[in-house]
Amino acid sequence: MQTIGQQLINGLSLGSIYALLALGYTMVYGIIKLINFAHGDIYMLGAFWGYYAINGLHFNFILAMLSAMVFCALVGVLIEYFAYRPLRNSPRITALITAIGVSFLLENGMTYLFSANARSFPQVIRTVTYHVAGLRISNIQLLILGTACFLMLLLELIIKRTKMGKAMRAVSVDPQAAQLVGINLNHTISFTFALGSAMAGAAGVLIGLYYNSIDPLMGMTPGIKAFVAAVIGGIGSVPGASLGGFLIGLLETGVQAVGLSAYKDAVVYFVLIVILLVLPAGIFGKKTKEKV
Amino acid sequence: MIKWHKHIIKISALATIVLALAGCSTAKNNGSSQGNNPGQTIKIGVNMELSGAAAGYGQQQKQGIQLAVNKINQAGGIAVGKTHKKIQLVIRDNKTSNTTAASVAAQLVNNDKVVAVVGPAATNAGTASIPNMTKAAVPSVSPSATDPGYTLQKNGDVQKYIFRACFQNNYQGSSAAKFMTNTLKAKNVAILTDNSSDYGTGLAKAFKKTYTGKIASNQTFQEGDKDFNAILTALKHKKIDAIYAPGYYSELGLIIKQARQAGIDVPVVGSDGMADAKLTKIAGKSNTNKVYYTTPFSTKAGETNPKAASFLKAYQAKYHATAPTFSALAYDSIYMIKSAIESEQSANSVKITTGLAKLKDFKGVTGTITMNQNHNPEKSMVIEKMTNGTISQAYTIK
């Protein structure tokens, strides 16, 4: 029983990171139908920004995370401006391939500039482990869970309660019609990239602190897992991405807990295939008929 | 008209055959000048993982190589017979890709005309470049390809031009198994293998073959994994005496950190992929207790081996860090080639091959090396123990 509880905690802290990343995928897809494969690398940039902000600028943790969010938001907007905007009216596959190209550029560019070595993230917050009913939970795990939940709520509020959020929803339904009623398409799309990338930046700094190891290729696997999470939750749906993230985290933990660690990635991708076959729109996805 | 045409074709075909045969015979006659010869300088190629997944190790090896070459060139170069020739490095990136490694090998031996190659770092990339090295009759020394089969052909014969500077897996894995049984008295162990490389799986296989106690759990992870909490939580209730975890420092650091945080304080034993100062940085000083690893190169070696002491000092001066094992192995690879050139008094690539195969009692940074018939270096192994993030004890295994 204790083991199950402990594994639940492990799964939730892992899942909250996937959830934060999946939000970026799902929002960008919802608005311009593009799977932004460079998203995982923005998360890596966030972690590196945190590393230099703490080591070089002597920021405290909160400040480092906030500045990483701002930095990543900027990077996201720039990537959209230079790489995706010129291709907005090209076939979707062109934009998709560009996204993969941007991902390679970021990974190898960072390897070139900062070397491929894993570096240790400055431990600005001392790890304290609490024992509750035989379970061990560290303050950092709580911090990750708390921050992730807070950011997800904040995002939900922005999308549902603000004017910009309304514009985002309008663009995602029909970009042409949204322009007709006076919504600035470019601003809305830039804002979406900024929001999604800020989430990834926060996730990067949190992961840096939690695992204490960052490298230029750290965004690859989590990026793909988060993409799976977004698809499982129903790509384009914000609550779906959060749920999908937690589900993937718990699934991965569960598979390892029963001793099948060699298959943990395989199981995640297997679930992706099953979901695509059985529930192609995902858990929260709306079934839409493609107009021919 | 037509007949005349036919004759021309016949004659030219004959002429081609004659010429081709003549080409064959000249190639055979010139057997003594087979392979590549040096020019003004001795060109040594580096076929290394400078980007991609194994770039961390490749970069460290490149540092070791450059350090060795600078030192040799500052001292006037390598004595070839009566003259001294300086080394010229040709460094090429194989991008941690097997196909690129093979084409880099071809480029180095055919276009750059190098007389010896250092690298690749990984067994897979190394194996991919063997055919091109053999065809050109140029020797290669890999600082870190540990798979037992790397220097052997499929039928068990030795690969003539392929050498390594590191231990092979069987020796390292079985030494760890003996150490855990005899010194740590571990009767019940868990194995955590990095199964994304031949290195990790090979070590685990060798360990399982030698270890006589009970293996309570056998789990694997991938290079680049960051979260081991689930595996460790499952291990916690298995009452294990020790963990054997062959892999690299980037993952092992995290395993040690997360194990100690989960309240698992049994010894963690690993391999030379752990021997890096970054291990402690990632795991945290207070977590790095009861950590052991097998290694050819101990930073404590500086106390007894003057070569190692001067290498450690030079590395510290240039890169401001404690030299990692991979740099030490790469450094030795260059010096092994130098020693082969000097003993054969020739920098012809075939002669260097002969020299490398005959290497005996070579005093290197990673110990005294004798090349055995399978092109594996024989040297003593060290098991280092870490307490509070620093090496507290070193056990030497002959």
Nearest CA in chain B to A123: B284
* Coil, strand or helix at A42: helix
Whether B238 contacts chain A with CB within 8 A: no
Contact B234 A258 (CB under 8 A): yes
pLDDT at B22: 52
The reply to whether residue A108 touches residue B51, judged by beta carbons under 8 angstroms, is yes
Determine the distance from the C-alpha atom of residue A51 to the mean position of all C-alpha atoms in its chain, rounded to a whole number.
19
Mutate to test the interface with B, among A43, A137, A261 (most CBs of B within 10 A): A261
What's the one-letter identity of residue B44? I
Is B245's Cβ below 8 Å from some Cβ in A? Answer: no
Q: Which of B229, B239, B255, B257 has the most A C-beta neighbours within 10 Å, making it the best mutation to test the interface with A?
A: B229
Reference B253, options B291, B222, B215; nearest CA is B291
Arithmetic mean of pLDDT, B285-291:
89
Token pair recorded at residue B139? 């020797």
Cβ separation B55–A257 shorter than 8 A: no
Which token pair is A42?
A: 């923005």
Closest chain A residue to B251 measured between Cα atoms? A213
Question: How far is the C-alpha of B383 from the C-alpha of B385, rounded, in Å?
Answer: 7
SS3 at position B218? strand
Domains B42-167+304-379 and B170-295 share a fold: yes
Overall residue count recorded for chain A in this entry: 292
Q: Which residues of B touch A207 (CB under 8 A)?
A: 226
- Please, which pLDDT band fits residue B27 given cuts at 50, 70 and 90? very low
Strands (E), B96-229: 116-118, 140-142, 162-164, 188-194, 214-221
Q: Taking CB atoms and an 8 Å cutoff, what residues of chain A touch B240?
A: none
Of the partner residues B58, B261, B282, the one whose CB lies closest to the CB of residue A213: B282
What stretch of H or E contains B42?
strand B42-48
* Other Cβ atoms within 10 Å of B90 Cβ, number: 16
pLDDT at B154 over 60: yes
Q: Which CATH architecture has domain B42-167+304-379?
A: 3-Layer(aba) Sandwich (3.40)
**Whole-number pLDDT of residue B131:** 94
**Predicted complex ipTM:** 0.78
Out of B222, B234, B261, name the one closest to residue A129 (CB). Answer: B261
Q: What is the mean pLDDT of residues B374-393?
A: 87
CA–CA dist A268, A255 (Å, integer):
9
Contact B234 A7 (CB under 8 A): yes
Which percentage of chain B shows pLDDT scores above 90?
A: 44
Best A3, A119, A212, A215 member to test B by mutation, with max B CBs in 10 Å, is: A212
pTM of the model as a whole: 0.77
Phi and psi angles of residue A203, each rounded to the nearest 5 degrees, phi first: -60, -40
- The one-character DSSP state at B361 is S
Q: How far is CA B212 from CA B181, B208, B290, in A?
A: 8, 8, 22
Q: Which residues contact B29 (CB under 8 A, 6 or more apart)?
A: none
pLDDT band at B29 (very low <50, low <70, confident <90, very high): very low
Q: How far apart are the first and last CA of chain B?
A: 82
Rounded to the nearest angstrom, the minimum Cα separation between B202 and chain A is 16
Half-sphere exposure of B46 (CA within 13 A, CB side): 27
Query: Which residues contact residue A35 at a Cβ distance below 8 angstroms, ignoring those fewer than 6 apart?
Result: A25, A28, A29, A96, A99, A227, A235
Between B140 and B97, the more confident residue is B140
User: What is the residue extent of each domain of chain B?
Assistant: 42-167+304-379, 170-295
B111: pLDDT strictly greater than 70: yes
SS3 call for B227: coil
With contacts defined as CB-CB under 8 Å, which chain A residues touch B230? 7, 10-11, 252-257, 261
Q: Do residue A115 and residue B250 have CB atoms under 8 angstroms apart? A: no
For the stretch B65-109, pLDDT in tens is 999 999 999 999 999 888 899 999 999 999 888 999 999 999 999
The token duo for A112 is 């070139």
Measured between CA atoms, how close is A51 to chain B, in angstroms? 13
Beta carbons of A127 and B263 less than 8 Å apart: no
B389 interfacial to chain A (CB closer than 8 Å): no
In CATH terms, the superfamily for domain B170-295 is Response regulator (3.40.50.2300)
pLDDT of residue B138: 95
Quickly state the pLDDT bin for B15 (edges 50, 70, 90).
Answer: low
Residue A157's contacts (CB-CB under 8 Å, 6 or more residues apart) are none
Whether B176 shows a pLDDT value over 60: the answer reads yes
- Show residues of chain A in contact with B249, CB under 8 Å: 118
Q: What is the pLDDT of residue B13?
A: 64
Residue type, A28: V
- pLDDT for res B26: 41
CA dihedral B364, B366, B371, B375 (to 10 degrees): -130
**Whole-number Å distance between alpha carbons of B34 and B335:** 23
Give the separation between CA B254 and CA B233, rounded to whole angstroms: 14
Chains A–B, number of C-beta pairs less than 8 Å apart:
105
DSSP states of B62-109:
HHHHHHHHHHHHHTT-EEETTEEE-EEEEEEE-TT-HHHHHHHHHIII
> Are residues A255 and A7 in contact, defined by beta-carbon separation less than 8 angstroms?
no
CB contact (8 A) between residue B230 and residue A3:
no
* Residues A10, B227: C-beta atoms closer than 8 Å: yes
Which chain A residues touch B if contact means CB-CB below 8 Å? 3, 6-7, 10-11, 13-14, 108, 111-112, 115-120, 123, 127, 129, 136, 138, 207, 211-213, 215, 217-218, 220-221, 252-259, 261-262, 265
Cβ separation A6–B231 shorter than 8 A: no
The pLDDT value given to residue B33: 61
What band does B30 get if pLDDT is binned at 50, 70 and 90?
very low
Are B250 and B278 spatial neighbours (Cβ–Cβ below 8 Å)?
A: yes
d(CA B324, CA B276) in angstroms, rounded, equals 5
Summarize pLDDT for A87-136 with one digit per residue, the tens: 888 888 898 999 999 999 999 899 888 877 778 888 888 888 888 877 88
10-residue mean pLDDT series, chain A (292 residues): 84 90 88 88 94 90 93 94 90 90 92 81 84 84 89 89 90 89 91 92 91 88 90 86 92 87 87 88 71 54
